[in-house]
Structure 1
């Protein structure tokens, strides 16, 4: 059982798509922290959690900015996901991205910290140019798998989770998971660690329900989501510009709360 956990990554790990009523993001990593806290609480232990992820980050700056402060806090567990923003760019070296992920994993485990290495969910069925995203995502997942197993690393392959392909798990932008999707990812992680998934999350009931509607991309969809994304790419801006980590330091998680923030 892990009692200290730090998440590093991009929008997937920050929790974009799972916004609370006050505007804060929650997301799968927060759910994992809550699941760990609930389990640890039965033994009278606290769980401390930090989330350094910032949306829009490509893998190189993500690792450079977030990994050193995460390691410096000496948690028992660090989670790493990245590369999703890289494979959306016109040109990318898939082998280069995979090598960076594996090298980062080795940096973490060399410090005696367990690493949770996980892939993001596959959004390609709902996106413009989804075929390109699917091909690159498949190549990246295969490249990472080829380096496994790594000692002291747990790999959770959300990209291969076909349940998450359903539209009901995705937010209106079709690129980020919604609260149901983030809960599903957290369930995959907790299950990999042998930690019970709280029944009140309803993960199994949602998965057993009938599939959602087929994806439809309207003119409003392109105006609200696609064109702003293209604009940021053309101007070199990022959705994460000026943002700071939402939980920069290890903080005790309240297992009765809806979010550890």
Structure 2
């Protein structure tokens, strides 16, 4: 099939769709980018979609491995979020990082593609990841400057306060849940002024845990998710090692036959 309009999604686990489990999708996840593509294709079947994002990728890897691949597909639209995994490292030169990011966005924009960028999430509510809040705030200001300089759209994740509700997060407390990815798809489409048929999810109420129960829940989370995450970083391995991009070529994925 020949696609006259082409959307390519770039990034890490956020864009790959980790947390939005779907056994029928490649890598076992769906995600907000796939949901955005579904709406675009529903409105205009001439859209093709590729998702090159792979979990665990740092900015250098995303720029080196995904930009050229995206440009080869001659995209009309690119979404890219990179840098979150760098910010979580013990040391990072944010200015140098963002200089490279700016160059990558420049290349995408000079190809003629519309580009959508993202600020980082405000993790102040997390006892673990909240320690990177200052870095993320600096990153966000530089992303806004890049968006202004390059004429890119921006989804201001930092200011989407509804994501402070833990109902939008997976049990690993690191990735959005299905509800979170659904809400993010809506916010991305709104930033693009694109129509959609996505109903915002209703969150089930989560009763507050008593102190002892919360301590136990936190300890279980640390054993099952935080400790393995730290261990991978100490061993310099990634959750994405051995994985391939979900949709490396332009396609109409199986879910594109109708919006849901």
Check whether TM > 0.5.
yes
Q: Distance in 1 between matches of 2:176 and 2:69?
A: 27
Within 5 Å, give how 1:34-49 maps onto structure 2. 34-40=38-44, 45-49=45-49
Q: Which residue in 2 is equivalent to 1:52?
A: 52
Q: Distance in 1 between matches of 2:246 and 2:183?
A: 22
Q: How far does the alpha carbon of each residue in 1:180-221 deviate from its partner, in whole angstroms, 9 at most, with x for none? A: 1111111111011111231xx321x63xx7975569552110
Tell me whether 167-176 or 247-256 shows the greater mean CA deviation: 247-256
Runs of 5+ unmatched residues, structure 1: none
Q: How far does the alpha carbon of each residue in 1:2-57 deviate from its partner, in whole angstroms, 9 at most, with x for none? A: 931000100000000001144721001001101111222xxxx4210000001001
- TM superposition shift of 1:156: 1.1
C-alpha change, 1:27 and 1:193, in structure 2 (3 Å) is same
Q: Could you tell me which of 16, 24, 44 is aligned with 1:14?
A: 16
Q: Which residue in 1 is equivalent to 2:257?
A: 256
Q: Distance in 1 between matches of 2:226 and 2:124?
A: 14
- TM superposition shift of 1:158: 1.3
Q: Which residue in 2 is equivalent to 1:154?
A: 153
Runs of 5+ unmatched residues, structure 2: none
Q: Which residue in 1 is equivalent to 2:232?
A: 232
Q: Which residue in 2 is equivalent to 1:221?
A: 221
What TM-score do you get using the length of structure 1 for normalisation?
0.87
Q: Which residue in 1 is equivalent to 2:32?
A: 28
Q: Distance in 2 between matches of 1:144 and 1:151?
A: 10
Q: How far does the alpha carbon of each residue in 1:46-84 deviate from its partner, in whole angstroms, 9 at most, with x for none? A: 210000001001100111011101111101111110100
Within 5 Å, give how 1:179-194 maps onto structure 2. 179-194=178-193
Q: Distance in 2 between matches of 1:112 and 1:157?
A: 23
- TM superposition shift of 1:258: 6.8
- TM superposition shift of 1:248: 0.5
C-alpha change, 1:192 and 1:17, in structure 2 (3 Å) is same
Q: What is the alpha-carbon root mean square deviation over aligned residues? A: 2.3
Contact 2:42 2:259 in 1 (8 A): no
Q: Distance in 2 between matches of 1:28 and 1:76?
A: 18
Q: Distance in 2 between matches of 1:165 and 1:227?
A: 23
Q: Which residue in 2 is equivalent to 1:168?
A: 167
